[in-house]
């Protein structure tokens, strides 16, 4: 037993010693990527794979050609879902669409995080008042149908996580083949590492209660995606 303790202690010291010798802030080399089929997909194949995988996870996907068609599709969704109040992000996908004006023209209250003077008032609105959150997306992963959102002042987490319906707008140029490409794009620049990133595949679902799948326990019950381009 004494010998086993000595061996274990020596192995621990060796590992800790290696970690201590790594220069502070240094990035460890990543392992080589496996030869996945998705890496060789062209743009249209990535779009088709993303749609297939997300639809399999009960996400709803439609495709439009440009921003004006995206807004037209939002109008249809608002009518179908009887949306009267929504929260929108102000990221680079959403901001150019002019959704506050769009909402006023259609009798829909369009709120943004910047409309709130306190965190508590924003939290209460996004959980209890709005019927949907509308956001852009930084990346979409073809291999799994996953959307990736980098959070900042223009893209608070609760806009996509709190409302019962999440409507995500994604330029097709932001679809990447695998998780590795998305992670590399986000974390490759060590000078500007985001504090929060969300990876979402389909509506929120859990089976923690009685072992039965239940949607919406920890996030939106439904996810609608509008692909632009």
**Residue 104 predicted with pLDDT over 60:** yes
Looking at every residue in the chain, the average pLDDT score rounds to: 87
**Residue 225 predicted with pLDDT over 80:** yes
* In-domain check, residue 60: yes
H helix or E strand, kind and range, residue 224: strand 222-228
Check residue 34 and give its pLDDT. Answer: 60
Residue 210: pLDDT band (50, 70, 90) is low
Q: How far is the C-alpha of 53 from the C-alpha of 36, rounded, in Å?
A: 16
Q: How far is the C-alpha of 225 from the C-alpha of 153, rounded, in Å?
A: 22
Residue with tokens 């959070």: 151
Q: How many domains does the chain have?
A: 1
12-21, 43-52, 58-67, range with the lowest pLDDT: 12-21
Does pTM surpass 0.85?
no
Residue 4: pLDDT band (50, 70, 90) is very low
* In-domain check, residue 164: yes
**Residue 207 predicted with pLDDT over 90:** no
Check residue 25 and give its pLDDT. Answer: 65
Check residue 152 and give its pLDDT. Answer: 93
* In-domain check, residue 34: no
Residue with tokens 């709190």: 162
Each residue of 166-190: pLDDT tens digit? 999 999 999 999 988 999 888 887 6
Check residue 44 and give its pLDDT. Answer: 93
What sign results for the dihedral spanned by CA atoms 221, 57, 97, 153? positive
Check residue 22 and give its pLDDT. Answer: 73
Residue 215: pLDDT band (50, 70, 90) is low
* In-domain check, residue 186: yes
State the CATH number of the domain containing residue 197: 3.40.50.10420
Each residue of 62-95: pLDDT tens digit? 999 999 999 999 999 999 999 999 999 999 999 9
Residues contacting residue 122 through CB under 8 Å, at least 6 positions apart: 113, 116, 156, 158
Residue pair 134/75 in contact by the 8 Å Cβ criterion: no
119, two tokens: 């965190």
Angle at 176 between CA 170 and CA 181, to 5 degrees: 130
Check residue 3 and give its pLDDT. Answer: 47
**Residue 61 predicted with pLDDT over 90:** yes
* In-domain check, residue 21: no
Residue 131: pLDDT band (50, 70, 90) is very high
- DSSP class of residue 131 equals S
Q: Which of 37, 106, 101, 54 is nearest to 77 (CA)?
A: 106
* In-domain check, residue 189: yes
Check residue 62 and give its pLDDT. Answer: 96
Q: Which of 166, 161, 165 is nearest to 151 (CA)?
A: 161
Each residue of 133-174: pLDDT tens digit? 999 999 999 999 999 999 999 999 999 999 999 999 999 999
Q: What residues make up the domain containing 84? A: 41-228
């Amino acid at each position: 037993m004494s010998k086993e303790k000595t061996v274990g202690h020596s192995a621990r010291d060796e590992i800790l010693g290696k970690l201590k010798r790594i220069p502070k802030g240094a990035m460890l080399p990543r392992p080589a990527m496996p030869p996945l089929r998705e890496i060789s997909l062209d743009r249209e194949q990535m779009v088709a794979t993303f749609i297939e995988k997300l639809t399999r996870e009960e996400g709803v996907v439609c495709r439009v050609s440009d921003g004006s068609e995206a807004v037209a599709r939002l109008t249809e969704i608002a009518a179908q879902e009887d949306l009267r109040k929504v929260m929108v992000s102000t990221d680079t996908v959403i901001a150019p669409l002019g959704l506050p004006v769009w909402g006023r023209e259609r009798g829909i209250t369009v709120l943004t995080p910047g409309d709130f003077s306190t965190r508590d008032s924003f939290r209460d609105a996004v959980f209890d008042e709005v019927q949907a959150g509308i956001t852009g997306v930084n990346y979409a992963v073809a291999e799994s149908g996953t959307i990736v959102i980098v959070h900042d002042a223009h893209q608070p987490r609760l806009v996509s996580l709190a409302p019962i319906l999440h409507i995500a707008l994604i330029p097709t140029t932001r679809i990447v083949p695998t998780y590795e490409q998305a992670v590399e794009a986000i974390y490759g620049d060590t000078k500007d590492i985001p504090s929060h990133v969300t990876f979402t595949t389909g509506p929120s679902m859990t089976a923690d209660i009685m072992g039965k799948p239940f949607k919406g326990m920890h996030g939106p019950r439904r996810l609608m995606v509008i692909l632009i381009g």
